């Protein structure tokens, strides 16, 4: 009596077969036709204290700052938000800059964000930034935002040599889903 020899596929073939559904599902979910990019816009005004200096630390009131920002998120991952903001220091001196942030929604009312901040006029300042926001719904598409923000400028032509500059802000504004 002859025993039929069963031919098993190679390990490579078995791996491909096993991973194919996973690969398809990953790419299919990213390219799903139902996926939508959701845009938002916000305007915030804030101030606080700032300090720096070598040797003795100095502090003073931070400039009053206007931040106008746009943000983007994907409807399938609404908690992950990418934002770019334009910064305009109004008083006591004028300055212009921008920031890039990744924000993470924590529930429906809170948000943590972190990124980089840069001023380009009157001179350059660059550094990391982090903030926290409390979002209070005003309407289905509009929210009032309030929260602190911390910035540290570590390089730039506007920094005195051998020093860093830090800022602690409290800001309030409105965010609108577009």
Residue 30 C-beta: closest distance to another protein, Å? 44
Q: Which residues are at the interface with another protein (CB under 8 A)?
A: 49-61, 93, 95, 122-123, 125, 157-161, 165
Smaller CB separation from another protein, 71 or 149 = 149
* Measured distance CA(70)–CA(42) in Å, rounded: 6
Smaller CB separation from another protein, 96 or 110 = 96
> To which residue do tokens 């809170």 refer?
110
H/E stretch holding 87 reads strand 77-91
Q: How far is CA 13 from CA 9, 16, 22, 26, 27, in A?
A: 6, 5, 15, 20, 21
Residue 174 C-beta: closest distance to another protein, Å? 23
SS3 of residue 175 by DSSP = strand
Smaller CB separation from another protein, 66 or 163 = 163
Residue 130 C-beta: closest distance to another protein, Å? 20
CB 61 within 8 A of CB 90: no
Residue 37 C-beta: closest distance to another protein, Å? 38
Smaller CB separation from another protein, 53 or 78 = 53
Question: What are 110's strand-pairing partners?
Answer: 106, 134
Smaller CB separation from another protein, 67 or 119 = 119
Residue 58 C-beta: closest distance to another protein, Å? 4
* Measured distance CA(79)–CA(123) in Å, rounded: 35
């Amino acid at each position: 009596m002859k025993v039929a020899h069963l031919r098993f596929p190679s390990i490579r073939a078995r791996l491909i077969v096993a991973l194919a559904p996973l690969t398809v599902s990953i790419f299919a979910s990213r390219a799903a036709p139902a996926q939508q990019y959701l845009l938002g816009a916000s305007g915030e005004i804030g101030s606080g204290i700032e300090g720096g200096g070598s040797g003795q630390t100095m502090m003073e009131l931070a400039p009053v700052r206007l931040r106008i920002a746009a943000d983007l998120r994907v409807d399938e991952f609404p908690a992950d938000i990418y934002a770019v903001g334009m910064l305009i220091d109004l008083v006591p001196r004028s300055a212009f800059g921008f920031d890039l942030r990744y924000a993470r929604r924590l529930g429906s009312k809170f948000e943590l964000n972190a990124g980089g901040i840069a001023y380009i006029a009157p001179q350059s300042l660059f550094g990391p930034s982090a903030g926290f926001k409390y979002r209070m719904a005003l309407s289905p598409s509009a929210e009032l935002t309030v929260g602190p923000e911390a910035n540290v400028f570590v390089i730039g032509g506007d920094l005195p040599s051998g020093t860093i500059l830090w800022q602690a802000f409290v800001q309030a504004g409105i965010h609108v889903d577009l």
